[in-house]
A and B are shown apart, each in its own frame.
Chain A
Amino acid sequence: MATRTGAFTTSELMVVAGARELREGELAFVGLGIPQVAAALAQRTHARGLVVLNEIGLADPRPVEFGVGNADPRHWYGASVMGGFVDVMGKLLHRGLVDVGFLGALEVDAYGNANATEVRREDGSIRRFGGGGGANDIASLARSTILIIRHERRKLVEKVAHLTDPGRGVRSVLTDKCVFGVDPSTRRLVVRSVHPGIGRDELRDATGFALDIPERVPTTEAPTAEELRLIREVIDPERLYTKAF
């Protein structure tokens, strides 16, 4: 799905939108892929003091190449401290010091509750995935979460098949079609900005829950030339995560 809207891919737009959700000085858990690229971009633009944590038991890594997951030592390179799960998930997260978790999910409902466990196949049987790991801890204990998910009817659902990660602190939900915020009175997701070229009907058709699109909704801010240069030349030159979705 290497859609190019103008001179950037959808995934580049998502990286930039994700980076803008991260703030200077925050302590953050970031998932593999676009969240990680977004954090790296934020660290090179407006959030030089953003500190990334890895639940495996380390903090503030400065990787020089992307790896295949939290367990890949490529993502440990340059860490300032290494320890165990309790050091990071306990003494920082459970202690209440973590600002934000940037997490993927299999399904998200209208209240930002996320499923990281299993989905129901069309024949009604259960398809089990790898499981949430520390995602429930992060959703339960970080001050806020940013969720990222592909924008499809079967993924943005009225009711998640397994409520793994409660949506108590959702800051935003980032998809390949829009950015959701949370309505403070109803707690439901509300469209905050729509990506360039995505129409209201397309958005509604691709969403499995009743969708609230404000009358006037801005277009998601396009990447700047400098942001694109950082993504393409410095952060993800192999284009592992920013070529397509």
Chain B
Amino acid sequence: MSKIVSLAEAAALIHDGDHVALGGFAIARNATALVHELVRRRVRGLHISACILGIEADLLVGAGCVESVVYSGGSLDRFGQLGRVNEAVERRSVAIEYMSGLALTFRYMAGALGLPYMPVRSMLDSDLLPPLVAAGIAREERDPFGGGALVLVKALVPDVAVVHAQVADAEGNARVLGPRWDNDEAVAAAKRVIVVADEIVERGEITAMPELTLVPSFRTSALVHLPFAAHPTAVYRRYDYDADHLRLYAEATRSQRTFDEYVERYVRSTDHAAYLAAVGGEAKLAALAADGRLGY
């Protein structure tokens, strides 16, 4: 059965107040087009999480869609900071659960395994731990088998995980190439999974190398087929990040006024096709195409 839906139909599966695990890592494999659609739909009150936040999170926070952020870090790498996320944290206009990357991954893993919590040896004797203990999502305990101090981190079960994949078949078997950071655990923990894929292939291509499948069809709620849906971030073996656009975005996100102008021009007044045209069209996209040997 085909899981393919339009971008708007996929975005409609994300409701006000949902917890959404975002699949990007800094400037790699962000589900940007889907996030644009959420901004256009003026979704509100989202709780978002990812080990390393990227432009996905910054767009959602800057556009006022977010109530809380669960994360360990985030940036546009050397292009700059996530200006909207950092300012919202400074001004406490979003709540945060800030923890080590492994602690957050283990929270997803506990969710993925149906366990209530997971022990981890990070964060002891640091300023990360007390706020998490106060919020009731971490506890410091002794190893019951005599092995010393442990931190128990509470399972995280997102309502939705959003992930960008290089390819998928129409049934929703999604293949991700390259490193997968926290994607395996976040996807497995989530109640619903939305996949955005650059290319749709025959099932036979997936089953020829099933070990590369990140999301099996029976865990995929909806699949969107949209080339360059991760622009301006990099998709390994398909296209490079767009340094020009990331520079432009990094500058825009330094203030709410310039961010709002950016969103008006590149998000609210466009659809995905118009966005790609606005960022440089065919010539730009051709220049971003990955070299088969290098992968970027």
Known contacts A83-B179, A84-B182, A140-B124, A89 near B101 by CB under 8 Å = yes
Q: Is the beta-carbon distance between A68 and B180 smaller than 8 angstroms?
A: no
Q: Is the beta-carbon distance between A71 and B296 smaller than 8 angstroms?
A: no
Of A74-82, A182-190, A223-231, the segment with at least 4 beta carbons within 8 Å of chain B is A74-82
Other-chain residue from A73, A84, A85, A94 in contact with B236 (beta carbon distance below 8 A): A73
Check B262 for interface membership: any CB of A closer than 8 A.
no
Q: What is the interface size of chain A, counting residues whose CB is below 8 A from a CB of the partner? A: 50
Q: Is the beta-carbon distance between B102 and A90 smaller than 8 angstroms?
A: yes
**Contact string, B174-203, partner A, CB cutoff 8 A, digits 1/0?**
000011111111000000000000000000
Number of A-B contacts (CB under 8 A): 171
Q: Is the beta-carbon distance between A89 and B98 smaller than 8 angstroms?
A: no
Of B14-22, B38-46, B75-83, B163-171, the segment with at least 4 beta carbons within 8 Å of chain A is B75-83
Check A218 for interface membership: any CB of B closer than 8 A.
no
Known contacts A71-B234, A74-B296, A131-B74, A85 near B128 by CB under 8 Å = no
A77 to B240, CA, bound (A): 13
Q: Is the beta-carbon distance between B74 and A134 smaller than 8 angstroms?
A: no
Known contacts A89-B105, A93-B102, A137-B102, A129 near B81 by CB under 8 Å = yes
A116 to B125, CA, bound (A): 15
Other-chain residue from B74, B82, B90, B183 in contact with A126 (beta carbon distance below 8 A): B90
Of B25-33, B266-274, B275-283, the segment with at least 4 beta carbons within 8 Å of chain A is B25-33
Other-chain residue from A32, A56, A137 in contact with B100 (beta carbon distance below 8 A): A137
Known contacts A69-B26, A93-B102, A136 near B126 by CB under 8 Å = yes
Check A132 for interface membership: any CB of B closer than 8 A.
yes
Q: Is the beta-carbon distance between B126 and A165 smaller than 8 angstroms?
A: yes
Q: Is the beta-carbon distance between B74 and A89 smaller than 8 angstroms?
A: no
Q: Is the beta-carbon distance between B77 and A85 smaller than 8 angstroms?
A: no
Residue of A whose beta carbon sits closest to that of B151: A140
How distant is A34 from chain B, measured CB to nearest CB, in Å? Answer: 14
**Contact string, B117-143, partner A, CB cutoff 8 A, digits 1/0?**
000111111111000000000000000
Check B49 for interface membership: any CB of A closer than 8 A.
no
Residues in chain A near residue B120, CB distance under 8 A: 94
Residue of B whose beta carbon sits closest to that of A55: B101
Q: Is the beta-carbon distance between A86 and B73 smaller than 8 angstroms?
A: no
Interface core residue of A32, A84, A163 (most chain B CB under 10 Å): A84
Check B11 for interface membership: any CB of A closer than 8 A.
no
A168 to B241, CA, bound (A): 37
Q: Is the beta-carbon distance between B181 and A85 smaller than 8 angstroms?
A: yes
Known contacts A73-B236, A140-B124, A164-B128, A132 near B73 by CB under 8 Å = yes
Q: Is the beta-carbon distance between B127 and A163 smaller than 8 angstroms?
A: yes
Q: Is the beta-carbon distance between B78 and A68 smaller than 8 angstroms?
A: yes
Check B10 for interface membership: any CB of A closer than 8 A.
no
Check A196 for interface membership: any CB of B closer than 8 A.
no
Q: List which A117-141 residues lie within 8 A (CB) of chain B.
A: 117-118, 125-137, 140-141
Check A220 for interface membership: any CB of B closer than 8 A.
no
How distant is B244 from chain A, measured CB to nearest CB, in Å? Answer: 13
Check A145 for interface membership: any CB of B closer than 8 A.
no
Residue of A whose beta carbon sits closest to that of B52: A133
Q: Is the beta-carbon distance between B105 and A86 smaller than 8 angstroms?
A: yes
A126 to B100, CA, bound (A): 20
Other-chain residue from B54, B71, B126 in contact with A131 (beta carbon distance below 8 A): B71
Other-chain residue from B26, B105, B122 in contact with A70 (beta carbon distance below 8 A): B26
Q: Is the beta-carbon distance between A82 and B74 smaller than 8 angstroms?
A: no
Interface core residue of B75, B98, B100, B120 (most chain A CB under 10 Å): B100
Q: Is the beta-carbon distance between B101 and A86 smaller than 8 angstroms?
A: no
Q: Is the beta-carbon distance between A134 and B72 smaller than 8 angstroms?
A: yes
User: Mind listing 23 A-B residue pairs with CB under 8 Å?
Assistant: A32-B77, A56-B25, A56-B181, A67-B77, A68-B27, A69-B77, A71-B26, A71-B233, A72-B77, A86-B185, A94-B102, A94-B122, A117-B127, A126-B90, A127-B86, A128-B86, A130-B75, A131-B72, A133-B72, A134-B100, A135-B73, A137-B102, A140-B122
Nearest 9 CB-CB pairings of A with B: A69-B77, A133-B73, A131-B73, A57-B179, A73-B296, A71-B26, A130-B75, A71-B28, A134-B101
